[in-house]
Amino acid sequence: MESQAKRLFDAGRYGEAATLMQSILRDDPQNRTANILVSFALARQGQVGPAIAQTRRALELFPSHAKLQLLLAGLLGLQEATRHESMQRFEAMLRTDPSNPMALLGLAENEHGRGNLYAAAERFTRLAERFPDDARYHVRMAQNYVSLGQLTLAREAYYRAYTLAPTNVDAVRSLAILSDALDRPEDAVRYYRELVTLFPSDVWAQIALRTSQESLAEPPIPMPIEEMAEIPLHTYMHGLSSHSQVLKMRREQIDATKWRSEMRFLPSFFVSPSTGRFDDKHTSNFNFSVGWNIADFLYDSHSISLKGMKADLQAVQNNLLLDVSETYYQRLATIGGYRQAQHALALDPTNIQVRQNKRQLKFRINYLSQRLQVLSGLP
């Protein structure tokens, strides 16, 4: 019966294996094989409560069994009420074996389950540093970064996992999704192609590949979102006076009017051609004359224009400052929404509405960036 139960367990028929092992335990409650296997069989079926109770009974009989200790600590971490005990058990294992990867992973998972994502990120990072050649830990660290919304760090961690295990499905799929979310269509096409190669019948991967290929034709965002969001408003405000083409044109008009105002005191030169006869010969000469306009001495006709042009320049500059400020904050708010859309797409890449919303926000950012450039004269 034990051999049959083992075969059923190895074949993945956990329900049948558990039933057979429980019948063994009715006749032999201290049977080592049955106690251990039924604990794992119940856990594999997702029966957390019965699995915890059975694993506790098995540990009473075999308290030094390491796999049972890990199993019980892991099962306790699945329930909020028993998560604290789970962490205590994992920490107790680390006191005797500081490099136990399963205990380290269990603590990190518990922190993640409690919502302490930054603490979990620290633990996953330490785990990946301790086992740098194991792609699984880099993948788990990357998944935690995605939960935090730190998509760039997540992509770096997934890429490290990919370099260690190029056929790691989680790494390939996630690199494709994150490249798509972060507007790196070339990389997205590359990784989606690899995913389609691994799973030729995956319809979603084929659709995502075509969508990424279409994204190659879209205009890119002028600079990385992180850099764009860090540009302070005063950069545009200070650059406005020296780079705005509108203000530059107005100043040139004022300077030209000032020059005409200052030149009104100079005399006017008149040159007129004339012809005549001298000694029976036709001759040509020019008559020169110099004159002043007395009215220009008494009244500056350009002064009214200058006052109006200066007032107009100040009004235009004030309006430009308001437009730049409004456009800047509109872009900043759009960038915030775009980041949320990126995070949402990374968490739910099959959501068409999220993808469409992200695309619209991208076009909006491009429009506002072009408007800022026109208004301020800054790239």
- Facing residues of 284 across strands? 275
CA 217 to chain centroid, in Å, comes to 20
Distance, in Å, from the CA atom of 370 to the CA atom of 141, rounded to the nearest integer, reads 38
292-303: pLDDT as tens digits = 555 555 555 667
Q: Are residues 247 and 365 in the same domain?
A: yes
Does residue 334 lie in a domain region?
A: yes
The domain that contains 174 carries what CATH number? 1.25.40.10
Domain count, the chain: 2
Residues 200 and 133 in one domain: yes
Report H helices in the chain: 2-10, 14-27, 32-44, 48-61, 66-76, 83-96, 101-113, 117-130, 135-148, 151-164, 169-181, 185-198, 203-215, 225-230, 233-243, 245-262, 294-298, 303-347, 352-376
209 and 250 part of one domain: no
Give the pLDDT score at 60: 92
In this prediction, residue 311 carries a pLDDT of 75
pLDDT at 333: 95
Residue where a domain stops, chosen among 157, 191, 218: 218
Give yes or no: residues 244 and 339 share one domain: yes
Between CA 208 and CA 216, with CA 212 as vertex, the angle to 5 degrees is 170
Q: Is residue 98 one of the residues assigned to a domain?
A: no
Are 210 and 254 in a shared domain? Answer: no
**Are residue 348 and residue 245 in the same domain, yes or no?**
yes
Q: Does 1 reside within a domain? A: no
Helix (H, G, I), strand (E, B) or coil at 42: helix
The answer as to whether 353 is a domain residue is yes
Task: Find all residues with CB under 8 Å of 341, minimum gap 6, and list them.
Answer: 354, 357, 358, 361
CA distance 309 to 252: 11
**92-122 per-position pLDDT tens digit:** 998 988 888 899 899 999 999 888 999 999 9
Are 355 and 255 contained in the same domain? yes
CA atoms within 13 A on the CB side of 317: 18
Report, as ranges of residue numbers, the positions in the chain whose pLDDT lies below 70: 260-302, 304
Does a structural domain hold residue 324?
Answer: yes
Domain that holds residue 175: 128-218
What is the gyration radius of the CA atoms in the chain, in angstroms? 39
pTM above 0.85, yes or no: no
Residue 370 resides in a domain: yes
Residue 360 sits at φ, ψ, to 5 deg, of: -65, -40
Average pLDDT score over the chain: 86
Residues 205 and 252 in one domain: no
How many Cβ atoms sit within 10 Å of the Cβ of residue 4?
13
